[in-house]
Structure 1
């Protein structure tokens, strides 16, 4: 890869240097009262070249061949301005625009025009990319804040995934953990560019009160992922100060005693606008469609940013999430007869069982420095502290006579993560070649320890819990009283439930643009070193290369191809005594992207294949509790993903997607009998499809009145753990219809949504061969939400 990179770079640079040098066009856009004008589009008339003014009103269009051009400044709702310029070889031609509107008038126009936005055409700075999504050689999908609001999404596990092709939840875990599956495996969870996974279960689901939007990156990206499954990641981007003095308060009520309120304040702490703040607060009480379950959440998220000078900005961000919920294993229902045999509201959770309390702290410090218009430095550090005190129910026995002995185990846990990043983005030209350069360093130190070694039987022999006539009152075996007198660290070490990971990584990427940036070749690589402990220790170092090509078929249509890698270190003890290898993954992807109606509507089509090697599995020839493993062999995931989203017509918005996922075992290590070549990888749906469409009346007395309709389908679903002994027990096709009505004015929005309109019995589940029973997790029957939002 290094030789190839050097060869291609030397060749292309020599071609560019021998050709005629290009110039560029740059300047600023300001309002009539002298304030910078953000989001204004500046283009060269009659070409696809252009730029969007940043928060300081600055723009740069490069590279531009020498000649005479007309520069056009446009924004919806503003008068178009045109200026003639001459571009000279090797020089920057400066041109400034002054709008006729004031800063306040521009803010009002921006607010009006950006409501109902379902598309984002630029990635967040935390993804480290400066290339527009249309030109990026990878499938990246954005879920905007307006989408979350319209669908009344209140947490990361609450319907977000309907907006992304092929994304489904890996078991439900209530509203504790999201655990997203995509492309046949669990994807990594990021927040503001940091990998915040510190155990299989985490992190705690983000409350949407402090979330701006969510970015789903399909397939690996070595410079983002560091280490992780090659299926991809999702990045939660939190709200930041905007410099506008504004606020919003929202109230939501709904089925199962849902009562929720949130407050969003955004403004200035200094008259010169250098010191800004953002404060989000939310509180929620919520029960469930199952008796005795509850989930109360409280969140506070203050952010302060300070513009030290014209080039440097410092941002401090803190988030506290408190969760007070019932036992986290109560979502499971068990039976020996099959899947979905018990009522939708069936539970084994006894009243009075102590719940689970969680404190989740995160702190960010972010520094951004612009060396000039072409080079930018970003440095950030983060500290995450998570503590959990609670329990998890799991059966001690499930009997063929429809009785069981319920068990509850301790789950006290603590997680600490310290992470740091520094990276540089550069944009320059050599001859006719444009370079978008990214280089950086990642560091992290993570630890997770838990005590789930203590257990208690809620039922006694002769007093078993009856699935036919359940009694969820006080259990005859009494409530547990776990012994926490010994420090958690000692209990976790004794139980073998201590996880530790340290890593660092360095990376370099160069995107080379040719033919006036109509074709872009991306060459990148990352070196990562990781040391971790979990059921054994492991140490790994790996280079992950990346090569991508993106070509403009038209100014709004691109085709791309990508080869990428990722790796995941593993801990364990091999029966052979050999060293445990990391999971390695290879991703090949091809696709088409198109922006319609000036980017207000987008579509993407992707074809991919992922190969994963060396994944550990329990040695079938060793005793069950030996802890010995063997390397499985190879898994292959391949499929098709199609996404469309945006504003089709004034007042008409839509999100629709479809994915076909085929994930199978393709190679099996000699001696492994637990799986066979051709076995389907569990935990996904072969076919998924989603739709959300809304329309609001634009004129007349009913202006602002609208309706929405949603649909989700999952077909050919696979159970999560073991093959089902009875083929007739396969999971049925999942069909869910949602609908809503709303009214919106300048300051008020009132919305009511009905979920699961046709009251379908919706569930997922699996079979556990080692205990010879089925488990099912049900979703809520028909339910509603009513929300009122007031902006000021």
Structure 2
């Protein structure tokens, strides 16, 4: 039956491609400045349809497959007088319509640079998100965090406060700056980079340094157009910096509290006179301490990118990134006590000086071929290779006593991850009569392997010589430092420790978005077929095959106002070991969502409101009766539901805002037979019922104080359910953090000073571990400061 559905879908798409009416026309032309130079990247809009394009590097543009009729084309660009022209298109006719701008070429170059400068909003998704349509028309809640927002908030890595820019995003256990682990809509979302799922294990990829990041796309709910398999809560896609064709550079230096010293360099330009061979090079380095003694996080990043225009229609891009980290052992930031949360000073630590560093090398390479077949069809092929190596350890206590005595333990954590990933997808626009078809079809394939040795451990303290949290000493530990045996290759040690995980997948996806009523009404019909084989903890591989349908509808009530609804499914096989020995079934989930999107004042700012319900069956979670072990249990059925509201953009000239609120509720609705540790109605950890964020940035536009500005923001988490099940025990309190700063900026120079946790609150996250009969928590930094200087050249 599934095969028939796939064949039928393919046949329908093929029929749509082959059979389309010949009674459509097109409008083409070029834009030139008054001195005859091509005017590139200028926006032209068909006001009748609300459809926009930008002129290419040769100043040319086109609107294709237009129904016969009269259209108005409006040309707009910053610093240029807008123009509107009316044109009539007859069946089968190609109309030429040119525009002449009054500015000189040099002025126009400045216009182009300013027009492409990132602010707080964007109207189009990246190519790696695959969907070839404006964000306001997509039947999905997609939020984009721009490079300007990242810069204004002095964010230096994925784990550095970035999630304040997206409604409903929280982090459970922070894992320091090692892994990001973002949860949304009640579950951990998938991590993507340039369109590839880069999750190789439960711990996710190394946090991306912001020096390589152009912007980040958060896609909420199941996303069949991206996910071969994965959690239905959503994903985030980190889009790295690429060459722009403009010769420019930027140097940045940052100083901060707790011995933060950081610098970065961004070079962008041409390697050939004809502009076909372009480059981008980003390098960054930092040393960073912590508000807790003996902790550090030193990193450097190197990221070269080359792109070559093979022909007018074909471009090849290759990029490589190395991220190197040298940091305190994983877990060093947690503290434990039996009496409750937050009973120790905010800077208290349980780690010990003299422990060896955890060292990480994270390599990634991408090669992308983009070929525009004609004005309507584009083929994209991408390949990626990831290699991650880690040599280090993690810390966790062996015992916690009521008198504060703790036996601290460190365990080896050497790991290696290797991923080879590939994808090919086709985007097209065709018409059958008056119906427009936006076609997307593609193949995804991947091979992921992760292995780790965590089979050796060492107690730093002895019975009778425990580390006491009420009278700590940090000299040579009673039981000495660990000396782990690394004489055997990691591959052999991982087998002995059960630290093996792997995944193989192949997937085909096809989508047709049908546009009715001149494109105002859009209906999406899509489906994905996936085969996955994966294993974990040394268990036998689990195989699964699944077809996931997708149905969406979006309607433009006005040019800048749309409503949408979507039904989508997600699927992923699960690997784990159930204590009873029963077989592990794949996780399946579906999402029903409705939303409202609006662009205000020609897209200067936008808003999104969405409501959703995600249902998941057969989800595995850590066995609460056997914590910190390899065992899992089947929850049964879980439902997450809520609503989200986001606003971002320039409200008035110079005043930019990011504001959002989300209500989330996630509970068990059914339990699997034999499950006693979890009951119907229990809250599933992984969310905060209320999340609210705000960030304001204002720069004075005129007068003596022109260029001076201020910014400020907050995060509030209410009714947190980000801990594990702890019936009858203390829950995490509400959370409030306030930040603010001042800056001065001109065309070349910017200086920023921000204060974080202005109110100097004791902020933390954590949970209760029943097997230790103790609470654990991780504190955030008290009031701290950063000063950055940026110079553009």
TM-score over 0.5 for the pair: yes
1:566 aligned to which of 556, 560, 570: 570
Provide closer, same or farther for how the CA distance between residues 431 and 179 of structure 1 changes in structure 2, counting only shifts above 3 A: same
Secondary structure of the structure 2 residue equivalent to 1:224? coil
Counterparts in 2 of 1:173 and 1:90: CA distance versus 1, 3 Å:
same
Name the residue aligned to 1:392: 394
Query: Aligned partners of 1:74 and 1:93: how far apart in 2?
Result: 20
1:615 aligns with 2:619: yes
> Aligned-pair distance for 1:34?
6.0
Q: Matched residues in 2 for 1:403 and 1:698: separation?
A: 59
Evaluate the alpha carbon distance shift between residue 284 and residue 53 of structure 1 in structure 2; reply closer, same or farther with a 3 A threshold. same
Q: Is 1:64–1:516's contact at 8 Å kept on the other side of the alignment?
A: no
C-alpha contact (below 8 Å) 1:135/1:558 kept by paired residues: yes
- SS of the aligned residue for 1:664 comes to strand
Instruction: State the partner residue of 2:597.
Output: 593
Q: Which residue in 2 is equivalent to 1:68?
A: 70
Q: 1:113: how far off?
A: 4.6
Tell me, what secondary structure is at the counterpart of 1:509? strand
Partner of 2:313: 311
2:723 pairs with one of 720, 725, 730:
720
Match of 2:229 in 1: 227
Q: Equivalent residue for 2:297?
A: 295
Q: What residue number does 2:468 align with? A: 466
| Correspondences of 1:149-164 after superposition (within 5 Å) | 149-164=151-166
What are the ranges of 5 or more consecutive residues in structure 1 without an aligned counterpart?
none
| Matching of residue 757 in structure 1 with residue 761 in structure 2 | no
Cα offset, 1:674, TM superposition: 1.0
Q: For 1:120 and 1:226, how far apart are their aligned partners in 2?
A: 26
CA contact (8 A) 1:724 1:730 kept: no
The answer for the alignment partner of 1:730 in structure 2 is 731
Deviation at 1:36, TM superposition (A): 4.9
**Structure 2: how far apart are the matches of 1:103 and 1:449?**
56
State the match for 1:673 in structure 2: 676
Candidates 546, 554, 561, aligned match of 1:557 = 561
1:344 to 343, 346, 349: 346
Q: Please give the secondary structure, in 2, of the residue aligned with 1:79.
A: strand
Q: Following TM superposition, by how much is the alpha carbon of 1:33 offset from its aligned partner in structure 2, in angstroms?
A: 6.1
- 2:645 aligned to 642, 646, 651, which one? 642
Match of 1:376 among 372, 375, 378: 378
SS in 2 for 1:703: coil
- Structure 2 counterpart SS, 1:109: helix
Residue correspondences, number = 788
Q: Give the Cα separation in 2 of the matches to 1:720 and 1:67.
A: 60
Q: 2:497 is matched with which residue: 486, 495, 498?
A: 495
| Counterpart pick for 2:110 among 87, 108, 111 | 108
- Give the equivalent residue in structure 2 for 1:774: 775
How do 1:167-186 and structure 2 match up within 5 A? Answer: 167-186=169-188
String of CA shifts for 1:301-355, please: whole Å, max 9, x gaps.
0000000110110111000000011112101111111111111101011111111
Q: Deviations over 1:650-671 (max 9, x none)?
A: 1100000000000000100121
Change (3 A) 1:402 1:91: same
Question: Structure 1 residues 543, 78: CA separation in 2 closer, same or farther (over 3 Å shift)?
Answer: same
> Which residue of 413, 418, 422 maps to 2:424?
422
Distance in 1 (alpha carbons) for counterparts of 2:52 and 2:91: 18
Task: State the 1:42 CA deviation.
Answer: 1.1
Aligned to 1:435: 437
Q: Is the 8 A contact 1:619 1:672 kept in 2?
A: no
CA distances 1:181-217 after superposition (whole Å, capped 9, x unpaired): 0000000000000000001112000000010000000
CA contact (8 A) 1:130 1:425 kept: yes
Q: RMSD of aligned C-alpha atoms?
A: 2.4
User: Post-superposition shift, 1:417?
Assistant: 0.4
Contact 2:10 2:510 in 1 (8 A): no
Counterpart of 2:744 in structure 1 is 743
Q: Secondary structure, in 3 states, of the residue corresponding to 1:482?
A: coil
Relative to 1, partners in 2 of residues 1:242 and 1:420: Cα closer, same or farther, differing over 3 Å?
A: same
Query: Which residue does 1:457 correspond to in 2?
Result: 459
Match of 1:654 among 646, 654, 657: 657
Distance (whole Å) between structure 2 residues aligned to residue 618 and residue 552 of structure 1? 44
Task: Tell me the equivalent position of 2:403.
Answer: 401
What is the deviation of 1:373?
1.1
Deviations 1:120-170 (A, max 9, x none): 110000001111000000000000000000000000110110000000112
- Name the SS for the 1:709 alignment partner: strand
SS of the counterpart of 1:670? coil
The 1:624/1:321 distance shift into structure 2, 3 A limit, reads closer
Change (3 A) 1:333 1:23: same
Encode CA deviations 1:368-402: one digit per residue, 9 max, x unaligned. 00111110010110110000011111101111111
Q: Which residue, 679, 685, 689 being the options, matches 1:686?
A: 689
Cα distance, 1:581 vs. partner? 1.7
- Cα offsets for 1:577-621 (capped at 9, x unmatched): 664321001000000000011111000000000000011357789
Q: In 2 relative to 1, CA 270–176 (structure 1 residues): closer, same or farther, beyond 3 Å?
A: same
Tell me if structure 2 keeps the 8 A contact 1:548–1:561.
Answer: yes
CA contact (8 A) 2:75 2:82 kept: yes
Q: Displacement of 1:226 after TM fit?
A: 1.0
**Compared CA separation, residues 10 and 202, structure 1 to 2 (3 A):** closer
Distance 1:130 1:45, change over 3 A: closer
Residue 604 of structure 1 is matched in structure 2 by 608
Output the TM-score relative to the length of structure 2. 0.95
| CA deviation vs aligned residue, 1:692-711 (integer Å, no higher than 9, x gap) | 00111110111000011101
Question: How far apart are residue 73 of structure 1 and its match?
Answer: 1.3
1:201/1:646 Cα in 2 relative to 1: closer, same or farther (>3 Å)?
same
Q: Residue 574 of structure 1 contacts residue 630 of structure 1 at CA under 8 Å; is this kept in 2? A: yes
CA contact (8 A) 2:595 2:610 kept: yes
Residue 634 of structure 2 is aligned with which of 615, 631, 634? Answer: 631
Secondary structure of 2:349's partner? coil
- Contact map agreement 2:317 2:368 (CA 8 A) in 1: yes
Is contact 1:724–1:767 with CA below 8 Å preserved after alignment?
no
**3-state DSSP of counterpart to 2:226:** helix
Q: Tell me if the contact between 1:724 and 1:766 (Cα under 8 Å) persists in the aligned partners.
A: no
* C-alpha distance after superposition, 1:684-723 (max 9, x if no partner): 2100000000111110111000011101100000142231
Partner SS for 1:80 = strand
Greater shift in the superposed pair: 174-183 or 72-81: 72-81
Q: Report if aligned partners of 1:692, 1:710 keep a CA contact under 8 Å in 2.
A: yes
2: CA distance, partners of 1:628 / 1:696: 54
Instruction: After TM superposition, give the deviation of residue 54 of structure 1 in Å.
Output: 4.4
Q: Which residue of 1 aligns with 2:790?
A: 789
CA shift at 1:626, angstroms?
Answer: 9.9
User: Secondary structure at 2:114's aligned position in 1?
Assistant: helix
In the alignment, structure 1 residue 242 sits paired with structure 2 residue 244 = yes
2:135 matches 1:138: no
Q: Secondary structure at the match of 1:308?
A: strand
Question: Paired residue for 2:217, among 207, 215, 233?
Answer: 215
CA distance in 2, matches of 1:403, 1:575: 32
